[in-house]
């Protein structure tokens, strides 16, 4: 492969879409696309000079252990090409080869990766390990707009060595923690049960799981306490409404019955009216955590999915860099220009236009800052978007506009009503001045309870008074949005890693559900680690190293000092683990078996009433569903997806009546499906050829289950060898 160019400047980009956007922004004419398949680069001229924008696909290098072996602790690691370290990264090989080839003929190099720790590491590794250089001009930008890309090209900065060092430190720390303690847990199971089952933990993963596990315990250990409420059906003005007794919880039923008796059949009268005006400030601009939380709240997209959507909007030049801690919008982004561009869209013309009429534009801001990027904001660019992108973009635009709005005013009203000498009340809420909520659109909608005009002393018609049996509720589960804020409050993870950590917990089967529930395996793992090696779930230790990395980024610490401290801590933890290896292994094995048993049961067989369970074909490694009634002749069986954690939903398909399962493939969105491959819900999934394939596979699995059954006693075996040994026992007994 040859670029066809000589004497050009190579611009290192983080992603293919960034490579195209940067080339289009800088070129005097139209850039020329070169390369094969998806691994392409762009050639162009500017001011008579030749340039090439070549993309990586994230990290082209990763850390890997030097040499072989599965002992721990291990600290001898090195940077190697990602495609050589992991088969899952094979897609990066053509991009690596392109970068390597283009670097040979490049006279100069410019780094144009995203400006954060990860982007700096990506760019610096390519610069050092492929281009053979230690420094280069650095394009620094927060949006992929033509204006900002041009400015960052004309006025480049330098490689931020402190940021590189902080990024390197994070990679080494995560490698040390993840590799050593995942090995420790896995080897503990192997010592205990002579089985190989990978259980992972990590520097941030462990404390996050422990935090969620503690919350899960509060929910499961919660004992509801009975209480009683009283409500009255009344007519206020011409409005039918319910009034509540002044005590929101009555703990003795006798007291509630006494109030009920003295109120029943009595007339009511208004005894007091209290009004209060509340002023609500505009919302703060979005940082990463609040943005992902609101995307989940309004649209239900998981943090991992939401970040991918936000990233695509950034790459298209529609919003600013979505990984930031900042809640501030600096004036140099040019508020009026952005709002003016937004106003060109008919959807926002009225609201954006009203802001432009203000004498001064000043956004509401929060206290959090970020040295690399401002808060998230729309650029004002107009491009075609998909449905998901449009939703997230609309939220970003509305939030940005709302930040510049006027305070909203709301009135709360409390009307007290005496019924038989007992005080009941009704609450009303209404918006007096919408202010910023009008700019926020549907996201700023507030619940309105408009009460009729009422005066003190007015008579109130009482239709009936009722007593309600209630129970106290357990703590609410975290949503996938609220958990990010909780992690931030606890100082666990960073703006860039929290969504990834949550996704890992799902992929490992440690947590399930949209409202996060910790699985039995997750609970047991968190308990075992807390009981035996508290440092592996310590939020304090995680925060300590996060603080040290911030100090490295600020030039106040050295990478090697931090890594040296980490190695000593890991060695100490490793010694404690090895001392308790058998005990930890026994506990982990019990947890794994219990979880596997629970996950394997999917529901009841419609044919014989037996139990449908997940089985594995030990010859092919494929999973399938079989019925426990096969000993009695039931041959019901279904194929299963090859990859992903399978969980029962305890629901059945309304069409075929088979159990509905949830499948969570690694790194992708979970999906739900019923077991029957011929169900009409799968008409769009499978063509006839595919349908026949899964039907044949189901028959083969069923036949195999029949074949591996003892003819004498009917007991099932997992393999032909096990069956042979079992039959030999019968022969010996005879």
Whichever domain contains 201, its CATH number is: 1.10.460.10
Give pLDDT tens digits for 544-564.
Answer: 999 999 999 999 999 999 999
What is the secondary structure of 223-254 as a DSSP string?
Answer: ---EEEEEEEEEEETTEEEEEEES-S-BS-HH
Per-residue pLDDT at 515:
87
Token pair for 537: 């779930």
Q: Which residues contact 563 (CB under 8 A, 6 or more apart)?
A: 169, 172, 173, 176
Within-domain flag for 344 = yes
Instruction: Report how far residue 353's alpha carbon sits from residue 364's, in angstroms, rounded to the nearest whole number.
Output: 19
Within-domain flag for 487 = no
User: Range with the lowest mean pLDDT among 84-98, 270-284, 341-355, 671-685?
Assistant: 671-685
Q: Mark residue 586 as left, alpha or beta (left: phi above 0; alpha: psi -120 to 50; beta: remaining).
A: alpha
> Are 216 and 294 in a shared domain?
no
* Boundary-marking domain end, from 524, 557, 590: 590
> ∠ CA 421-427-428 to the nearest 5 degrees?
140
Token pair for 551: 């100090």
Q: Which run of H or E residues covers position 312?
A: helix 303-315
Residue 596 pLDDT greater than 80, yes or no: no
Give pLDDT tens digits for 388-422.
Answer: 999 999 999 999 999 999 999 999 999 999 999 99
Within-domain flag for 717 = yes
> Are 505 and 532 in a shared domain?
yes
> Are 294 and 362 in a shared domain?
yes
Higher-pLDDT residue of 97, 668 = 97
pLDDT confidence tier of residue 2, bands split at 50, 70 and 90: very low
Among all chains, which residue has been given the structure tokens 């400015």? 151
Q: What percent of the chain has pLDDT over 70?
A: 92
Give the C-alpha distances (Å, rounded to integers) separating 244 from 253, 425, 465, 479, 546.
16, 5, 10, 30, 49
Give pLDDT tens digits for 623-658.
Answer: 899 998 888 889 899 988 887 778 787 788 888 889
What are 459's strand-pairing partners? 269
Give the C-alpha distances (Å, rounded to integers) separating 57 from 19, 90, 100, 424.
10, 11, 14, 64
Q: How many CB atoms lie within 10 A of CB 43?
A: 20
User: Range with the lowest mean pLDDT among 74-88, 116-130, 317-331, 713-727?
Assistant: 713-727
Mean pLDDT, rounded, for 605-628: 86
Higher-pLDDT residue of 497, 153 = 153
Give pLDDT tens digits for 23-72.
Answer: 999 999 999 999 888 899 999 999 999 999 999 999 999 999 998 888 89
Identify the CA nearest to 469 among candidates 615, 289, 260: 260
Per-residue pLDDT at 153:
97
User: Range with the lowest mean pLDDT among 81-85, 233-237, 707-711?
Assistant: 707-711
> Are 499 and 563 in a shared domain?
yes
**201-214 CB burial, b ≥16 within 10 A, e <16:** bbbbbbbbbbbbbe
> Are 423 and 529 in a shared domain?
no
Instruction: Report how far residue 722's alpha carbon sits from residue 352's, in angstroms, rounded to the nearest whole number.
Output: 73
Among all chains, which residue has been given the structure tokens 């039931």? 634
Within-domain flag for 227 = no
> Are 617 and 579 in a shared domain?
no
Per-residue pLDDT at 514:
80
Catalytic residue positions? 321
Token pair for 526: 């968190």
> Are 127 and 61 in a shared domain?
yes
Mean pLDDT, rounded, for 472-481: 93
> Are 143 and 260 in a shared domain?
no
Within-domain flag for 488 = no
**Which residue blocks in 56-160 are alpha helix, DSSP H?**
82-85, 93-104, 117-129, 146-154
Per-residue pLDDT at 670:
72
Instruction: Report how far residue 525's alpha carbon sits from residue 200's, in angstroms, rounded to the nearest whole number.
Output: 10
For residue 218, count CB atoms less than 10 angstroms from its CB and return exposed for 0-12, middle for 13-18, buried for 19 or more: exposed
Within-domain flag for 481 = no
DSSP for residue 479: B
Q: What's the 3-state SS for 642-661?
A: CCCEEEEEEEECCCCCCEEE
* Boundary-marking domain end, from 381, 403, 425: 403
Per-residue pLDDT at 1:
39
Q: Is the peptide bond before 73 cis (omega within 30 degrees of 0)?
A: yes
φ/ψ (deg, to 5) at 216: -65, -35
Token pair for 401: 């506009």
Say how far residue 706 (Cα) sits from the centre of its chain: 43
Token pair for 367: 């206290």
What are 11's strand-pairing partners? 53, 110
Within-domain flag for 76 = yes
φ/ψ (deg, to 5) at 712: -85, -50
Instruction: Report how far residue 524's alpha carbon sits from residue 521's, in angstroms, rounded to the nearest whole number.
Output: 5
Per-residue pLDDT at 708:
54
The three-class DSSP label of residue 417 is strand
> Are 26 and 153 in a shared domain?
yes
Per-residue pLDDT at 199:
83
pLDDT confidence tier of residue 689, bands split at 50, 70 and 90: very low
pLDDT confidence tier of residue 447, bands split at 50, 70 and 90: confident
Q: Which residues contact 84 (CB under 8 A, 6 or more apart)?
A: none
Most confident of 138-152, 499-513, 581-595: 138-152
Per-residue pLDDT at 313:
96
Per-residue pLDDT at 661:
87
> Are 292 and 422 in a shared domain?
no
Per-residue pLDDT at 678:
84
Instruction: Report how far residue 531's alpha carbon sits from residue 522's, in angstroms, rounded to the nearest whole number.
Output: 14
CATH code (residue 239): 2.70.20.10
| pTM score, whole prediction | 0.80
* Boundary-marking domain end, from 120, 137, 159: 159
User: Range with the lowest mean pLDDT among 290-294, 635-639, 681-685?
Assistant: 681-685
> Are 183 and 307 in a shared domain?
no
Among all chains, which residue has been given the structure tokens 């040290």? 548
Per-residue pLDDT at 734:
47
- Domain enclosing residue 111, as ranges: 8-159
**For the chain, what is the domain count?**
5
What is the secondary structure of 177-229 as a DSSP string?
Answer: HHHHHHHHHHHHHHHHHS--------TTHHHHHHHHHHHHHHHHH----EEEE
CATH code (residue 49): 3.40.50.140
Within-domain flag for 455 = yes
What are 417's strand-pairing partners? 270, 424
> Are 556 and 693 in a shared domain?
no
């Amino acid at each position: 492969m040859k670029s066809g160019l000589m004497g050009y400047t190579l611009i290192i980009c983080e992603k293919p879409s960034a490579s195209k956007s940067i080339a289009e922004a800088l070129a005097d004419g139209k850039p020329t696309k070169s390369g094969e398949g998806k691994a392409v680069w762009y050639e162009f001229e500017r001011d008579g000079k030749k340039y090439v924008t070549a993309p990586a696909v994230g990290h082209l290098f990763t850390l890997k252990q030097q040499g072989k072996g599965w002992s721990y602790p291990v600290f001898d690691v090195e940077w190697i090409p990602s495609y050589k370290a992991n088969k899952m990264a094979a897609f990066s090989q053509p991009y690596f080869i392109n970068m390597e080839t283009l670097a040979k003929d490049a006279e100069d190099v410019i780094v144009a990766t995203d400006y954060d720790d990860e982007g700096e590491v990506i760019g610096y590794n390519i610069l050092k390990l492929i281009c053979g250089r230690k420094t280069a001009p650095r394009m620094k930008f927060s949006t992929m707009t033509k204006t900002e890309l041009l400015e960052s090209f004309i006025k480049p900065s330098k490689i931020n060595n402190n940021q590189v060092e902080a990024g390197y430190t994070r990679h080494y720390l995560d490698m040390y923690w993840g590799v050593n303690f995942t090995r420790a847990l896995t080897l503990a199971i192997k010592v205990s049960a002579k089985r190989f089952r990978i259980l992972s933990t990590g520097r941030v993963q462990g404390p996050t799981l422990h935090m969620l596990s503690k919350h899960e315990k509060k929910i499961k250990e919660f004992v509801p306490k009975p209480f009683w409420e009283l409500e009255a059906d009344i007519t206020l003005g011409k409005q039918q409404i319910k009034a509540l007794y002044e005590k929101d919880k009555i703990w003795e039923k006798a007291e509630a019955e006494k109030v009920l008796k003295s109120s029943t059949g009595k007339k009511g009268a208004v005894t007091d009216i209290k009004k209060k005006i509340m002023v609500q400030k505009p919302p703060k601009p979005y940082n990463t955590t609040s943005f992902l939380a609101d995307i989940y709240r309004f649209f239900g997209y998981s943090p991992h999915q939401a970040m991918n959507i936000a990233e695509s909007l950034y790459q298209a030049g529609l919003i600013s860099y979505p990984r930031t801690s900042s809640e501030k919008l600096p004036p140099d982004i040019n508020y009026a220009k952005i709002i003016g561009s937004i106003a060109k869209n008919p959807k926002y013309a009225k609201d954006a236009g009203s802001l432009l009429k203000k004498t001064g534009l000043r956004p509401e801001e929060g206290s959090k800052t970020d040295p690399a990027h401002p808060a998230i904001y729309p650029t004002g660019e107009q491009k075609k978007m998909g449905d998901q992108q449009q939703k997230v973009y609309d939220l970003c635009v509305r939030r940005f506009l709302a930040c510049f709005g006027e305070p909203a005013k709301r009135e709360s009203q409390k009307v007290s009503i005496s019924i038989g000498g007992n005080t009941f009340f009704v609450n009303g809420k209404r918006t007096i001045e919408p202010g910023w909520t009008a700019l926020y659109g549907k996201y700023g909608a507030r619940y309105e309870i408009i009460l009729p005009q009422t005066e003190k002393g007015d008579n109130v018609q009482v239709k009936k008074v009722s007593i309600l049996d209630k129970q106290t509720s357990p703590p609410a589960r975290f949503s996938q949005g609220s958990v990010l804020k909780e992690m931030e409050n606890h100082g666990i993870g960073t703006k860039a890693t929290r969504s990834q950590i949550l996704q890992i917990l799902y992929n490992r089967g440690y947590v399930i559900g949209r409202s996060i529930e910790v699985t039995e395996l997750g609970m047991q793992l968190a308990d075992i680690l807390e009981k035996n090696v508290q440092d592996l779930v310590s939020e304090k230790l995680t925060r300590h190293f996060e603080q040290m990395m911030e100090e490295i980024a600020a030039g106040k610490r050295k990478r090697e000092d931090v890594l040296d401290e980490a190695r000593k801590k890991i060695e100490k933890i490793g010694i404690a683990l090895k001392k308790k290896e058998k005990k930890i292994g026994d506990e982990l094995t019990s947890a794994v078996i219990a979880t596997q048993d629970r996950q394997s049961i999917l529901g009841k067989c419609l044919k014989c009433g037996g139990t449908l369970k997940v089985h594995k074909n030990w010859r092919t490694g494929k999973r399938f569903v079989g019925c426990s009634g096969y000993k009695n002749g039931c041959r019901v069986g279904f194929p299963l997806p090859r990859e992903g954690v399978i969980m029962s939903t305890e629901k059945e398909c309304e069409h075929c009546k088979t159990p509905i399962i949830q499948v969570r493939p690694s790194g992708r969105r979970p999906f739900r499906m019923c077991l029957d491959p011929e169900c009409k819900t799968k008409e769009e999934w499978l063509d006839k050829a595919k349908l026949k394939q899964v039907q044949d596979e189901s028959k083969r699995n069923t036949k195999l289950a029949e074949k591996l059954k003892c003819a004498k006693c009917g007991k099932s075996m997992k393999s032909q060898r096990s069956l042979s040994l079992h039959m030999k026992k019968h022969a010996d007994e005879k």
